[in-house]
């Protein structure tokens, strides 16, 4: 049953005596075995024998207890040390062997003595300091974070206190899941304005927790952290944290800052247990050692690394101190101690009488900006002109790749074209707005295609047909009047001459002679008046076509857009604008929202996709007026239609409960008052470089362009070609006509 190898190792290496009548036999539970060499290098004890007390986990509890009792009797064990084990407790109780536990036990046996003070003592000390009137900050909400393996040891006074807002448990699990739970918990604390956090976790969990708090800007004032740390193992972690206005308070058994450095909790508790055994052994006399150990442990006090060691009637530590140390980011000092007296009246906190402690008690709530001196992650979105890539950004790295309005705003937060609404406000906090935006529709200005025969456009097809008909009617009437007048009859007039006369007058080509009859002259003068008005109207209309753009956009307002089907429209998926249409009670906006729901193809993934569809034409894009204004200033083929609606402010998004929210809001207001925000807007938006309507009309009126008059040249060319064709046709007919006549005469003969 003895672990001979382990026994020889300690006897050979450390030179311990193995004489049975001189040595104290100590059974060590395996979990504590690894800490013995470091302990004995400090104690230099040579009157103790060790055995490795093992049990088979596959056994039933009854068999395990029986095996342990047999082992303890055969090895003549005087005392047992190690973590609390139910099997060992029962066996030790039956054999009257004292059992020094290095862990807390909620239900200790009569022969069990706990070296580690109970967790409830530390919680009581925390309660008396954090919730008491020893400080000015007595109305701050508190939160408790503890490891699941610590168990639930909080008393009702702490849990039912009106200042205890939340209790979180950090269960064992992988690092990523644990960090996710921590992030969620800390963000809820900030949202609920919880500024004081009590932490009862192992050092690894505390380190991960503080790293997460640093990322969320919760590690400096006004956040105050209180840690359960019996062996002062957080000392190295706190020393290596970034220096800022921190507030860390540690509750520990170590009496001074340097006491027990580089030793973990198990080593310290093993040392104290062995120190107690060594002192009892050195004062032992002949007789029953088990009873001697029990009597000494119940009546005497000892000194160890964790201070005074004395056991009360329930064999738990009494009359010891929990020391309180404070870190403020630049230095550390002792705040005071909580004394675990024999009676409730003696269990109080006594603060040190130093200037640091006095300042700690009286300090006000002013503190430095919590983000100062830090490298901060700023979350944004690419949206011109707020944030955009520089030219040649492929050859740049880091923040040097970006430029824009938000880049010039010096800030540490979510800075982007992010409007404030109820849904976002529930997730993050916003500062005062630095800019106001509305919603408008941006569209492409339709381009009128150039027509070769644009000179025909001033008059409608109906007018042209009616004019041609009128010309024929006038020619026929003129021929009738000239041939049938009784007093002024002209026998030689022909219908062809009447037609050419009428058309010549219409085209102002000039004619030979005038009608000889009075009725003919009246008809022609009336026709000339008609031609005068027609030509004047044609000239005026063509000039207007060449100099004035009559339509700037296919629709005049969003109300027109909602009533038509030819032009598609949409916005960005999951955007605040889409949410506005979906929930609006205004009929027009509700109709637009229904149309968008029925045509999801018109909802784009990003604003860049929306502007790309606008440039392609036939699409209206609902987006922020600030961005639409920037686009129309840069791209002359785009225009916006109104009216503007749904005003919202662009705010700076910060984590829920961020302590620097108010300070950022004040600074944004200051930037607005001194004109800095206006200067930034002028820098990045600039002015529209396109010609105004009047300038464009004036530019068009400077001269007739070839594309507008090209049809006239085609008509002139067609006239020349037709004239040549007629000439050749007439000459050909004149040449063959005599031959036809001669041929006919010969046939007759």
* pLDDT at residue 211 tops 60: yes
Average pLDDT value for residue range 688-711: 57
**Other Cβ atoms within 10 Å of 574 Cβ, number:** 8
Largest CA distance in the chain: 182
* pLDDT at residue 2 tops 50: no
Q: What is the pTM of this model?
A: 0.56
CA distance linking residue 278 with residue 397, whole number of Å? 65
CA distance linking residue 81 with residue 102, whole number of Å? 7
DSSP string computed for 463-502: HHHHHHHHHHHHHHHHHHHHHH-SSS--SS--HHHHHHHH
Task: Catalogue the E-assigned strands of 666-714.
Answer: none
Residue 703 CA from chain centroid, whole number: 56
Question: Which residues contact residue 231 at a Cβ distance below 8 angstroms, ignoring those fewer than 6 apart?
Answer: 252, 253, 254, 260, 263, 264, 265, 268, 269
Sheet containing strand 638-650, edge to edge, reads 568-570, 619-624, 435-444, 638-650
Q: 376 or 588: which carries more pLDDT confidence?
A: 588
H-state helical runs in 416-554: 422-427, 461-484, 495-506, 518-547
Model confidence at 253, in pLDDT bands (50, 70, 90)? very high
3-state secondary structure of 653: strand
Among 64-68, 176-180, 390-394, which is the least confidently predicted range? Answer: 390-394
Question: Which residues contact residue 653 at a Cβ distance below 8 angstroms, ignoring those fewer than 6 apart?
Answer: 379, 413, 414, 415, 416, 418, 424, 428, 429, 430
* pLDDT at residue 249 tops 90: yes
Among 20-29, 378-387, 568-577, 586-595, which is the least confidently predicted range? Answer: 378-387
- pLDDT (0 to 100) of residue 710: 62
- pLDDT (0 to 100) of residue 225: 92
* pLDDT at residue 108 tops 50: yes
- pLDDT (0 to 100) of residue 127: 85
Beta bridge partners of 321: 339
Model confidence at 692, in pLDDT bands (50, 70, 90)? low
Q: For the segment 438-463, what is each residue's pLDDT rounded down to a tens digit?
A: 888 988 887 766 666 677 777 778 88
Q: 437 or 99: which carries more pLDDT confidence?
A: 99
**Could you tell me the two tokens for 586?**
């205004």
* pLDDT at residue 4 tops 50: no
Q: For the segment 144-160, what is each residue's pLDDT rounded down to a tens digit?
A: 888 876 555 666 667 77
Average pLDDT value for residue range 662-691: 76
3-state secondary structure of 171: coil
Question: Which residues contact residue 461 at a Cβ distance below 8 angstroms, ignoring those fewer than 6 apart?
Answer: none
3-state secondary structure of 254: coil
Model confidence at 323, in pLDDT bands (50, 70, 90)? very high
DSSP string computed for 337-388: EEE--SSGGG--EEE--SHHHHHHHH--S----TTTT---------BTTTBE
User: Are 170 and 145 contacting, i.e. CB atoms less than 8 angstroms apart?
Assistant: yes
CA distance linking residue 130 with residue 326, whole number of Å? 13
Residue 225 CA from chain centroid, whole number: 27
User: Are 622 and 604 contacting, i.e. CB atoms less than 8 angstroms apart?
Assistant: no
* pLDDT at residue 501 tops 50: yes
* pLDDT at residue 695 tops 60: no
Beta bridge partners of 198: 144, 226
- pLDDT (0 to 100) of residue 424: 59
Which H or E run contains 303? strand 302-304
Which H or E run contains 169? strand 164-170
Q: For the segment 512-524, what is each residue's pLDDT rounded down to a tens digit?
A: 667 777 777 787 7
**Other Cβ atoms within 10 Å of 526 Cβ, number:** 11
* Closest by Cα among 628, 607, 672 to 431: 672
- pLDDT (0 to 100) of residue 226: 93
**Could you tell me the two tokens for 41?**
């290098």
Average pLDDT value for residue range 181-199: 84
* Closest by Cα among 81, 4, 103 to 280: 81
User: Are 297 and 98 contacting, i.e. CB atoms less than 8 angstroms apart?
Assistant: yes
CA distance linking residue 336 with residue 76, whole number of Å? 45
- pLDDT (0 to 100) of residue 694: 54
Average pLDDT value for residue range 197-206: 89
Q: 439 or 172: which carries more pLDDT confidence?
A: 439
Mean pLDDT of the chain: 76
- pLDDT (0 to 100) of residue 720: 60
Among 351-365, 416-430, 599-613, which is the least confidently predicted range? Answer: 416-430
- pLDDT (0 to 100) of residue 149: 61
Among 64-78, 190-204, 732-746, which is the least confidently predicted range? Answer: 732-746
* pLDDT at residue 464 tops 50: yes
CA distance linking residue 73 with residue 67, whole number of Å? 10
**Could you tell me the two tokens for 357?**
């402690």
The distance in angstroms from the start CA to the end CA of the chain is 162
**Could you tell me the two tokens for 120?**
């409830």
Among 275-279, 549-553, 574-578, which is the least confidently predicted range? Answer: 549-553
Model confidence at 408, in pLDDT bands (50, 70, 90)? low
Give CA separation, 59 vs 3, 64, 85, 436, 495, in Å. 19, 6, 15, 74, 134
Beta bridge partners of 311: 317
CA distance linking residue 303 with residue 271, whole number of Å? 11
Model confidence at 188, in pLDDT bands (50, 70, 90)? confident
Average pLDDT value for residue range 197-224: 86
Beta bridge partners of 170: 147
What angle do helix axes 4-14 and 36-43 make, rounded to 10 degrees? 30
Rg over CA atoms, the chain: 50
CA distance linking residue 603 with residue 606, whole number of Å? 9
Whether omega for the bond prior to residue 643 falls within 30 degrees of 0, making it cis, is: yes
Q: Tell the burial category of 84 from Cβ atoms under 10 Å away from its Cβ (0-12, 13-18, 19+).
A: buried
Model confidence at 709, in pLDDT bands (50, 70, 90)? low
* pLDDT at residue 748 tops 50: no
Question: How many residues belong to the chain?
Answer: 749
**Could you tell me the two tokens for 27?**
């059974």
* pLDDT at residue 743 tops 70: no
CA distance linking residue 6 with residue 53, whole number of Å? 11
CA distance linking residue 275 with residue 257, whole number of Å? 21
Residue 309 has phi, psi (to 5 degrees) of -115, 110
Model confidence at 631, in pLDDT bands (50, 70, 90)? confident
- pLDDT (0 to 100) of residue 15: 35
* Closest by Cα among 672, 681, 649 to 431: 649
- pLDDT (0 to 100) of residue 337: 92
3-state secondary structure of 63: helix
Average pLDDT value for residue range 704-715: 59
Q: What count of Cα atoms within 13 Å lies in the side-chain half-sphere of residue 168?
A: 20
Tell me which DSSP letter residue 34 carries.
Answer: G
CA distance linking residue 105 with residue 90, whole number of Å? 13
Percentage, residues of the chain above pLDDT 70: 74
Q: Which residue has the tokens 């040190």?
A: 352
Beta bridge partners of 436: 649
- pLDDT (0 to 100) of residue 133: 61
């Amino acid at each position: 049953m003895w672990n001979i190898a382990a026994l020889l190792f300690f006897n050979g290496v450390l030179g311990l005596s193995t004489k049975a009548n001189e040595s104290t036999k100590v059974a060590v539970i395996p979990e504590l075995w690894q800490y013995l060499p470091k302990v004995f290098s400090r104690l230099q004890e040579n009157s103790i024998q060790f055995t490795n007390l093992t049990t088979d986990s596959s056994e039933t509890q009854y068999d395990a207890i029986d095996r342990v009792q047999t082992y303890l009797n055969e090895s003549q064990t005087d005392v047992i040390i190690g973590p609390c084990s139910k099997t060992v407790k029962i066996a030790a109780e039956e054999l009257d062997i004292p059992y020094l536990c290095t862990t807390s036990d909620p239900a200790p046996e009569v022969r069990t003595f706990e070296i580690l003070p109970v967790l409830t003592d530390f919680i009581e000390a925390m309660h008396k300091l954090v919730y008491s009137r020893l400080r000015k900050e007595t109305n701050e909400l508190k939160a408790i974070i503890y490891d699941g393996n610590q168990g639930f040891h909080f008393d009702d006074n702490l849990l039912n206190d009106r200042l205890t807002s939340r209790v979180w448990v950090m269960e064992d699990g992988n690092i990523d899941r644990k960090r996710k739970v921590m992030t969620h918990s800390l963000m809820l604390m900030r949202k609920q304005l919880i500024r004081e956090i009590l932490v009862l976790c192992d050092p690894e969990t505390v380190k991960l927790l503080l790293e997460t708090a640093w990322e969320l800007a919760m590690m400096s004032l006004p956040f105050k952290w209180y840690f359960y740390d019996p062996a002062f193992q957080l000392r190295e972690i706190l020393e290596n944290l970034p220096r800022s206005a921190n507030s860390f308070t540690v509750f520990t058994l170590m009496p001074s800052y340097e006491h027990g450095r580089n030793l973990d909790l198990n080593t310290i508790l093993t040392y104290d247990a062995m120190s107690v055994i060594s002192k009892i052994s050195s004062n032992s006399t002949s007789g029953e050692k088990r009873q001697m150990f029990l009597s000494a442990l119940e009546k005497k006090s000892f000194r160890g690394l964790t201070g005074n060691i004395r056991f009360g009637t329930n064999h738990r530590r009494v009359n010891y101190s929990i020391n309180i140390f404070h870190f403020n980011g630049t230095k550390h000092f002792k705040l005071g101690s909580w004394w675990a007296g024999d009676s409730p009246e003696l269990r109080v906190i006594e603060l040190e009488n130093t200037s640091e402690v006095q300042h700690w008690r009286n300090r006000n709530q002013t503190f430095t900006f919590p983000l100062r001196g830090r490298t901060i992650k700023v979350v944004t979105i690419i949206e011109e002109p707020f944030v955009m890539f520089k030219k040649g950004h492929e050859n740049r790295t880091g923040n040097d790749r970006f430029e824009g309005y938000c880049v010039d705003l010096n800030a540490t937060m979510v800075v982007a074209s992010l409007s404030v609404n109820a849904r976002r406000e529930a997730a993050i906090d916003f500062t005062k707005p630095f800019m106001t935006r509305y919603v408008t529709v941006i569209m492409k200005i339709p381009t009128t295609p150039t027509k070769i025969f644009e000179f025909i456009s001033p008059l409608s097809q109906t007018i042209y047909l009616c004019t041609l008909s009128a010309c024929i009617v006038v020619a026929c009437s003129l021929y009738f009047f000239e041939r049938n007048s009784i007093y002024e009859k002209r026998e030689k007039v022909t219908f062809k001459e009447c037609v050419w006369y009428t058309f010549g007058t219409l085209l102002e080509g000039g004619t030979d002679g005038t009608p000889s009859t009075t009725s003919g002259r009246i008809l022609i003068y009336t026709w000339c008046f008609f031609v005068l008005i027609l030509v004047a109207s044609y000239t005026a209309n063509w000039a207007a076509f060449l100099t004035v753009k009559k339509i700037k956009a296919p629709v005049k307002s969003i109300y027109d857009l909602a009533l038509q089907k030819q032009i598609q429209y949409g916005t960005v998926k999951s955007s605040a604008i889409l949410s506005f249409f979906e929930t609006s009670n205004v009929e027009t906006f509700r109709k637009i929202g229904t149309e968008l729901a029925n045509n999801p193809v018109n909802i784009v993934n990003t604003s860049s996709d929306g502007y790309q569809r606008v440039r392609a034409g036939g699409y209206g894009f609902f987006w922020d007026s600030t961005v639409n204004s920037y686009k129309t200033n840069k791209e002359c083929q785009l225009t916006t239609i109104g009216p503007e609606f749904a005003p919202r402010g662009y705010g700076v998004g910060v984590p829920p409960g961020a302590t620097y929210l108010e300070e950022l809001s004040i600074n944004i207001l200051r930037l607005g008052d001194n004109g800095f925000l206006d200067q930034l807007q002028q820098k990045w938006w600039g002015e529209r470089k396109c010609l105004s309507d009047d300038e464009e009309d004036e530019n068009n009126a400077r001269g007739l362009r070839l594309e507008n008059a090209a049809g006239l040249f085609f008509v002139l060319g067609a006239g020349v070609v037709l004239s040549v064709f007629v000439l050749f046709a007439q000459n050909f007919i004149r040449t063959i006509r005599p031959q036809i006549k001669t041929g006919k005469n010969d046939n007759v003969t």
